[in-house]
Chain A
Amino acid sequence: NAGVTQTPKFRILKIGQSMTLQCTQDMNHNYMYWYRQDPGMGLKLIYYSVGAGITDKGEVPNGYNVSRSTTEDFPLRLELAAPSQTSVYFCASTEFEDSPLHFGNGTRLTVT
């Protein structure tokens, strides 16, 4: 059981480039989340999904897009990378609304 898998682990982008952070879970969880962690800060919610085909904005959605075409996958898209998006990105999932979150190991993104 792999749990929540995030790829890549590290990435360096130039300003204005685009990329997709991948997140896959093999636990058949309905709820999935994207958080970002800036240096010295706690995690902030970017987007979340309560099931396939349903997504909603979190606290800091600007500059990002998501889709949820399957239960397993919840990719996060950066269209025009900016230095302010330099951060560590965490994907998480949970089976029920009341259950603990399972986190991936994060993607460290640097935009220069």
Chain B
Amino acid sequence: AQTVTQSQPEMSVQEAETVTLSCTYDTSESDYYLFWYKQPPSRQMILVIRQEAYKQQNATENRFSVNFQKAAKSFSLKISDSQLGDAAMYFCAYRSDYGNNRLAFGKGNQVVVIP
């Protein structure tokens, strides 16, 4: 089974600054998808961004962008111009291209935004 590792339990960032969350994963597959999900205190799971492994270009969604390094099996999330609403747990997730859309999640990073 694939494993997803997030090693920084909590990250603090000043409002309007940038924070980067790290994620590494272990797989022997060449085709797969990677995701970042946001979980605010409401418990809702919200998809932030998605990256297909076959794409070399890093995905971006407004203030959120990723740095995908396939050879290093690294998938970091950058949040630019941090806002108070960005405060949440962020989970990195892996999905095989052949696995019926089953996700493997990391343990999460808590992002604290300081006004």
A42 and B43 contact, Cβ closer than 8 Å, known pairs A33-B102, A97-B101: no
Specify which chain B residues have a CB less than 8 angstroms from the CB of A31 in the assembled complex.
100-101
Interface residues of A, count at CB 8 A: 26
Residue B100 contacts which of A40, A42, A97, A100 (CB distance < 8 angstroms)?
A97
B81 to chain A, nearest CB (A): 24
Segment touching B, from A13-21, A44-52, A67-75: A44-52
In the complex, the answer to whether A105 meets B44 with C-beta atoms within 8 Å is: yes
Contact A43 B105 (CB under 8 A): yes
Residues of A within 8 A of B (CB): 31, 33, 35, 40-45, 48, 50, 56, 58-59, 88, 90, 92, 94, 97-101, 103, 105-106
Residues of B within 8 A of A (CB): 1, 4, 6, 42-45, 47, 50, 91, 93, 100-108
